[in-house]
A and B are shown apart, each in its own frame.
Chain A
């Protein structure tokens, strides 16, 4: 079909969304990801029976944690589709990209840039003095 989807999405292949751990999600944000989403099979049709259901619970847990630390729970999302739904895959990528654009960059990056900017400003002031 050669469908287009936003180029900012980096795909990490896993054998099942049940493989994705809460730590994978959290560490992605520590490393500066602006958003993380999981695309799993439809609920009820997991080859490993409960992989996508476990993934959903982990996503919900990650959302709660990220909300509490100020990153924002909306930056993580779980999507489901069947293997024949390529247009839906592209649609999810667009939806998530639009959502992240609305939310803005990962606050950790903004705060880091701000504190570095502040430090640079202070150094410049000291230099001028």
Chain B
């Protein structure tokens, strides 16, 4: 899923303080699962904003809505009747959802209420960890299912580097060395001979280095 962090309340208040009709828009997908942008968080942010305005003695209308997916035009367009009465929208979906909302409602400012961080999974409730950087050319088959692009600080493709100590990365004792994990897993799979095979220079043109990416699935695209 896409993992995000809520923006500081002061920052959000600073952006919307001069508006009187504010819509907080959440998304039922990734940000709901990472507990930052679902119906619950929409309620909390809207309530906090209402309290802020009440404390200022300002009459402001703070509405709440949660779209099925903000990254899907079908649902974004479908929210028109809900969105248009408002002066500004705080999107607490990921950066994709926020942009899709902004593209559709070009007369209403759409501002982010979260900082979108990474693609990852939940280690336990409330703890998420990065697993993919969307580099466009997946190496996992060669690296025993552990990604050196997203999990190695240096993105080393033939590791580990000299900063690996007791299975941890030199950037932090809390960060596992991805290459230690890869070696351990190759070992347990009985595939240590694969470790001897050098990975050639990666084609980074499929990553962001090649500019914004678009994928077209011919068999379903109209």
Give residues in A with beta carbon < 8 Å to B. Answer: 22-23, 26-27, 29-30, 65-66, 68-71, 107-108, 111-112, 114-115
A56 to chain B, nearest CB (A): 15
Known: A65-B9, A68-B10, A69-B9. A107 touches B48 (CB 8 A): no
Q: Does B55 contact A (CB under 8 A)?
A: yes
A71 cross-chain contacts in B, Cβ below 8 A: 51, 55
Interface residues of B, dominant DSSP: helix
Q: Is B122 part of the contact surface with A, judged by Cβ < 8 Å?
A: no
B: residues with CB less than 8 A from A are 8-10, 13, 40, 43-44, 47-52, 54-59
Q: Which of A22, A23, A68, A112 contacts B54 (CB 8 A)?
A: A112
Given contacts A23-B40, A23-B44, A26-B44, contact A69 B51 (CB under 8 A): yes
Known interface pairs A68-B9, A114-B57, A115-B57. Does A29 touch B44 (Cβ–Cβ under 8 Å)?
Answer: no
Shortest A53–chain B CB gap in Å is 13
CB–CB B51/A111 < 8 A = no
Q: Looking across the interface, which residue of chain B has its beta carbon closest to that of A112?
A: B57
- 8 closest cross-chain pairs (CB), A and B: A111-B57, A108-B54, A115-B57, A26-B47, A69-B52, A70-B55, A68-B9, A69-B51
In the bound assembly, the distance between CA atoms of A92 and B204 in angstroms comes to 63
Jot down 16 A-B pairs with beta carbons below 8 A, ordered by A: A22-B44, A23-B47, A26-B48, A29-B51, A30-B51, A68-B9, A69-B9, A69-B48, A69-B55, A70-B52, A70-B55, A70-B56, A111-B54, A111-B55, A112-B57, A115-B57
